[in-house]
Amino acid sequence: MDLTLALVIATVAIALFFDYTNGFHDAANAIATSVSTRALRPRVALTMAAIFNFVGALLGTAVAKTIADILTGFEDMPPNHALTVVLSALVGAIVWNLITWYFGIPSSSSHALIGGLIGVGLAAGIGVDWNKVVDKVAIPMVVSPAIGFGGAFLIMLTIMWIFRHANPHTVNRGFRLSQTVSAAALSLGHGLQDAQKTMGVIVLALIAGGYHSTANDDIPLWVIVSAAGAISLGTMSGGMRIMRTMGRRIIALDPPRGFAAESTAAIVLYGMAIGAHAPVSTTHTMTSAVMGAGATKRFSAVRWGVARGIITAWVLTLPAAAVVGALTYFLLRLVIPGN
């Protein structure tokens, strides 16, 4: 087999493995609140999330094209060198995903991948589209959690006002049923956002190997379906470590607050994917929405110490994945011919 073709196959396989780790790493984001409020049993919630992840992944490709546009200059590089770049970025993202999963920290798979791409781009001396990084990554990275926190806070205040005279038991029972819908909507948004990021990386690998023209061309159907399938399988594997952090350690939510958090996060994910074509973090958005909904009890009800640890992981994700990606790049250049 031709070495370049073998590298393309290996890179696509590792990209799908990253997609799988994204599924089990981020599955908790979509269902943790529904499980913690006992709206859904864990296995039922994971199955539902997997199905809606798959469907969401089929709904668009704009975010995938944004990811594929972050690095430029592949046409000027030998194929094996270009594939080394993509492969190294993936390794950086996967390593950070596994570290944060092991410690139960809800960090961002999206920003791990983007950090890996940027780190390898700098190490390889190829073009990084900084305007796109700022407009589509940095600004949404700040804006989406802010909207998640503020939106969930306001929605929960509205719910509290509307149902201020209602029986609490009846309200909780009604919102447990509503959470089935909001959790499904969030899972759909997760598939729409996160599976597309893997599609973008696979497109980069195909461009590097000479099997695809540009990032603006239509993404092959097999890429879309395989990315959708990988993230769904990962979701089915679950993420109980992170689920505990999301569902209980930040704040113990009741069904109305769970519904407010999930609904807000879903709206942000749809808006950023469809309106802004921005690859935002499901983790950041949902965690912020949980904090926003929980803060309506009282600000002291949120365990801000846990929240600070999560925010620290957010800040570290981009540079940590960038460093691992860059180190992997230098290592792979020594062992892969044609570099």
Q: What percent of the chain has pLDDT over 70?
A: 86
C-alpha span between 21 and 23 (Å, rounded) = 5
Question: What's the pLDDT score for residue 154?
Answer: 96
pLDDT at 27: 64
Nearest to 218 by CA among 10, 22, 68, 5: 68
Cβ atoms of 288 and 145 closer than 8 Å: yes
Contact criterion met (CB below 8 Å) for 48 and 187: yes
Q: Are 293 and 215 in contact (CB under 8 A)?
A: no
pLDDT given for residue 336 in this prediction:
76
Contact criterion met (CB below 8 Å) for 306 and 250:
yes
The residue assigned the tokens 């969930």 is 152
DSSP-assigned letter for residue 106: -
Q: What pLDDT shows up at residue 260?
A: 94
Task: Of 52-66, 147-161, 194-208, give the range with the top mean pLDDT.
Answer: 147-161
C-alpha 333/C-alpha 331 separation (Å) is 5
pLDDT surpasses 50 at 135 = yes
> pLDDT value at position 202?
92
161 Cβ neighbours under 8 A, 6+ residues apart: none
Q: Which of the pair, 299 or 284, is modelled with greater confidence?
A: 284
Report the SS3 class of residue 68: helix
Taking every pair of Cα atoms in the chain, the longest distance, rounded to a whole number of angstroms, is 72
Q: What does the alpha-carbon distance between residue 243 and residue 135 come to, in Å, rounded to a whole number? A: 31
Q: What is the DSSP letter of 74?
A: G
Average pLDDT, the chain: 83
**Residues 15 and 90: beta-carbon distance below 8 Å:** yes
pLDDT at 307: 63
Residue 233: closest CA among 34, 45, 49? 49
Q: Which of 150-164, 235-249, 260-274 has the lowest mean pLDDT?
A: 235-249
Whole-structure pTM value: 0.84
Residue the block writes with tokens 């921005």: 278
Mean pLDDT, residues 200-220 taken together: 81
Q: 127: part of which helix (H) or strand (E)?
A: strand 127-128
Please identify which residue in the block is written with the tokens 């350690």: 249
Nearest to 229 by CA among 78, 57, 86: 57
Question: What pLDDT, on the 0 to 100 scale, is given for residue 247?
Answer: 46
Question: Is pLDDT at 297 greater than 50 in this prediction?
Answer: yes
Q: What average pLDDT does this structure show over 39-66?
A: 84
Q: What is the pLDDT of residue 174?
A: 93
- From its phi and psi, is residue 166 left (phi > 0), alpha (psi between -120 and 50) or beta? beta
Indicate the range of 136-145, 182-191, 226-235, 296-305 predicted with least confidence: 296-305
pLDDT confidence band for 264 (50 / 70 / 90): very high
> Which pLDDT value is given to residue 215?
61
Mean pLDDT of 132-149: 88
